Chains A and B, each alone.
Chain A
Amino acid sequence: DVKVTQSSRYLVKRTGEKVFLECVQDMDHENMFWYRQDPGLGLRLIYFSYDVKMKEKGDIPEGYSVSREKKERFSLILESASTNQTSMYLCASSSRTSRGRQETQYFGPGTRLLVL
């Protein structure tokens, strides 16, 4: 079974703090994704990565950065947390076969971040 783990289930931080959210997958997937999920707004893509050290902006990258130094690990960084970044953060991963066929995304359990 594919397993995607996230470092924390719940996190409380103060405005202005630097926040690190870690995600690890154990299936050697090439692609990894960070989303935030808010009521009424659905899943919104923050950043994604298709290879080590590669990253691309999603739909809402402002206020976030990412790091992918190893294939299995994808980190989301909030440089200076703000209250409007209070949300559920979801990490996902997917593979791509040699023929380029799309593979589905597997999600972690999520991190509920509260910024005070």
Chain B
Amino acid sequence: QKEVEQDPGPLSVPEGAIVSLNCTYSNSAFQYFMWYRQYSRKGPELLMYTYSSGNKEDGRFTAQVDKSSKYISLFIRDSQPSDSATYLCAMSAGTNAGKSTFGDGTTLTVKP
């Protein structure tokens, strides 16, 4: 079983919808949680970064971490066609040279 499991998708939503992307994990040592966005044929770019449990909001994006349930989510409000991309969750224990464990990614398409 993988340390990080991500809802596989693909996900297709109409413009303006609220999108929920989710990951679960098994390693209780993880304490840093990241979401990356990857456009087609590009490298991943950091979208959100959270330390420990709680919520973090940045514009239309909200990252949520529930360490007791080992569950993290990324919410996108008022989704736009430009949000169409693959979203990767990533987690780290903060040791071992910053090595992170990534989910396999969820591909999102927002239709105009």
User: Which residues of A are at the interface with B, using a C-beta cutoff of 8 A?
Assistant: 4, 30-31, 33, 40-43, 45, 48-50, 56, 58, 90, 92, 94, 96, 100-110, 112
Contacts of A110 in B (CB 8 A): 41-43
The chain A residue sitting closest to B43, CB to CB, is A107
Q: Is B98 an interface residue (CB 8 A)?
A: yes
Interface size on B, residues (CB 8 A): 25
8 A–B contacts, CB within 8 A, in A order: A33-B99, A40-B104, A48-B99, A96-B97, A103-B98, A105-B34, A105-B90, A105-B98
Q: A42-B104, A50-B97, A105-B46 are in contact. List 6 more A-B contacts (CB 8 A).
A: A42-B102, A50-B98, A56-B97, A90-B44, A102-B92, A104-B49
Q: State the Cβ distance, B58 to closest chain A Cβ, in Å.
A: 14
Contacts of B78 in A (CB 8 A): none
Give the dominant DSSP class at A's interface: strand
Whether the pair B94, A42 counts as a contact (CB closer than 8 A) is: no
Whether the pair A31, B43 counts as a contact (CB closer than 8 A) is: no
The chain A residue sitting closest to B97, CB to CB, is A50
Whether the pair A94, B98 counts as a contact (CB closer than 8 A) is: yes
Q: Is B53 an interface residue (CB 8 A)?
A: no
Whether the pair B94, A105 counts as a contact (CB closer than 8 A) is: no
Whether the pair A107, B45 counts as a contact (CB closer than 8 A) is: yes
The 4 closest A-B pairs by CB, nearest first: A50-B97, A42-B104, A107-B43, A102-B94
Contacts of B36 in A (CB 8 A): 107
Q: Is B32 an interface residue (CB 8 A)?
A: yes
